Amino acid sequence: MSQVTLLQIADKLKISVSTVSKALKDYPDVSEKTKALVKELATTLNYKPNAFAVNLRTKESKTIGLIIPAIVHHFFSNVIKGILTQAEKKGYLVIILQSNESYELEKKQIDLLLRQRVDGILISIANSTRNFGHLSDVLSQGKPLVMFDKIAKILECSKVVIDDRKAARDATQHLIDTGCKRIAHFRGPLLSQNSIDRFIGYREALENNNYVYDSDLVYICECGDSSFEEGKINAKKLVQKHKDVDGVFINTDLVAIGALTAFSEMGVRVPDDISVVGFSNWFMSSVISPSLTTINQPGYKIGKAAFKQLYTELKQRKNNLPVVHKKITLNTELIKRASTKV
């Protein structure tokens, strides 16, 4: 069955197409009787507005793009929920793409979204992204770009983040406060900004407490946020080489869960022999044994804030107002569980 048009409704009611259009939009210069007749017939005929025609007229697609490194990541799934909740309220469709931490794929996805004429783009960049020309292209085309979590500090656009340094200091300080004397760190890739900031926070906490920093106690997880296996491998290396280590701050919860698994397999007791703090507060962190002390990273709130900022900038552009870029920093919280001492 073909889609019902305004012309068909107008012909049936013997009125003009413009009157039908105005009636459906509740214009004050159309009588209440005519409005009621038009809306009743539109409902009967199951009339749906032509979104493409509306978009051409308003120069809006009512579509935004979202690029994230990994959809299966618990943190990013919460970000998506936050974005979708807000987008639905404002009538926006969200195209969700996964970069798989690939710079080349991320570039292609940006190009795809621009060709699809999205109104704006939300992105958490891949760990391998070092050049930002593709993101500058978004801004040069007059489209708002909001970055979250993994960001490029040099790019002039809005950003929604946490204070990774402070969160890492809090995590490491908790290990110190509960009696740990020799503290290791499993960090993410060397060039990922949030991995850098968490490493700096770890080191600052040591220095603030007159602990000697030892680079031998820092293990790099090249896969970044999501390597359970790297957590196991690095935990085994740590125990074999540094039997005196009694605490470890780990860049993400999945890596930390891998470490807890390895400790259990090797007969290392947590937290009696070694205390562990993770980062993100995945669901699994509360149900494993021992449950994982971790930093709560508010993914849902980050998603909400990112969309709200994008929507604000869309309105500013539509109303020919100056676009005001913002850096929004959300609070984190240390969640104390059984993997650290009381």
Per-residue pLDDT tens for 187-205? 988 888 899 999 999 999 9
The full set of domains in the chain, from first to last, is 6-49 (no CATH), 59-161+299-331 (3.40.50.2300), 164-297 (3.40.50.2300)
Q: pLDDT category, 10, cuts 50, 70, 90?
A: confident
How confident is the model over 6-32, as a mean pLDDT?
A: 87
How confident is the model over 90-110, as a mean pLDDT?
A: 95
Per-residue pLDDT tens for 228-246? 999 999 999 999 999 999 9
Cα–Cα distances (Å) from 81 to 86, 97, 216, in that order, read 9, 14, 39
More confident residue, 191 or 116: 116
Which of 28, 51, 25, 50 shows the shortest CA–CA distance to 38? 25
Q: What is the largest CA-CA distance in the chain?
A: 89
Tokens of 285: 């962190």
User: What's the confidence (pLDDT) of residue 190?
Assistant: 85
> Mapping DSSP to helix (H, G, I), strand (E, B) and coil, where does residue 261 land?
helix
Give the 3-state DSSP-derived string for 73-142, with helices as H, strands as E and coil as C: CHHHHHHHHHHHHHHHHCCCEEEEEECCCCHHHHHHHHHHHHHCCCCEEEECCCCCCCCCHHHHHHHHCC
User: What's the confidence (pLDDT) of residue 55?
Assistant: 57
Per-residue pLDDT tens for 168-185? 999 999 999 999 999 999
How confident is the model over 69-85, as a mean pLDDT?
A: 90
For 246, the enclosing helix (H) or strand (E) is none
Tokens 């500013």 — which residue? 316
Say yes or no to pLDDT of 48 above 90.
Answer: no
Say yes or no to pLDDT of 53 above 70.
Answer: no
Cα distance between residue 248 and residue 327, in whole Å: 31
Q: pLDDT category, 224, cuts 50, 70, 90?
A: low
Tokens 């007791």 — which residue? 269
Enter the pTM of the model: 0.82
Cα distance between residue 226 and residue 235, in whole Å: 15
User: What's the confidence (pLDDT) of residue 57?
Assistant: 57
Residues 6+ apart with CB under 8 A from 127: 69, 101, 150, 188, 189, 191, 192, 195, 224
Minimum mean pLDDT among 185-189, 225-229, 329-333: which range?
Answer: 225-229
Per-residue pLDDT tens for 21-32? 888 888 888 899
User: What's the confidence (pLDDT) of residue 46?
Assistant: 85
User: What's the confidence (pLDDT) of residue 175?
Assistant: 98
Per-residue pLDDT tens for 256-277? 999 999 999 999 999 999 999 9
Four-CA torsion 242, 245, 249, 255, nearest 10 degrees: 50
Say yes or no to pLDDT of 308 above 80.
Answer: yes
User: What's the confidence (pLDDT) of residue 61?
Assistant: 85
How confident is the model over 324-329, as a mean pLDDT?
A: 97
Asked if residue 292 lies in contact with residue 260, where contact means CB atoms within 8 angstroms, the answer is yes
Question: What integer best gives the mean pLDDT of the chain?
Answer: 92
Say yes or no to pLDDT of 290 above 90.
Answer: yes
Which of 116, 52, 66, 62 shows the shortest CA–CA distance to 93? 62
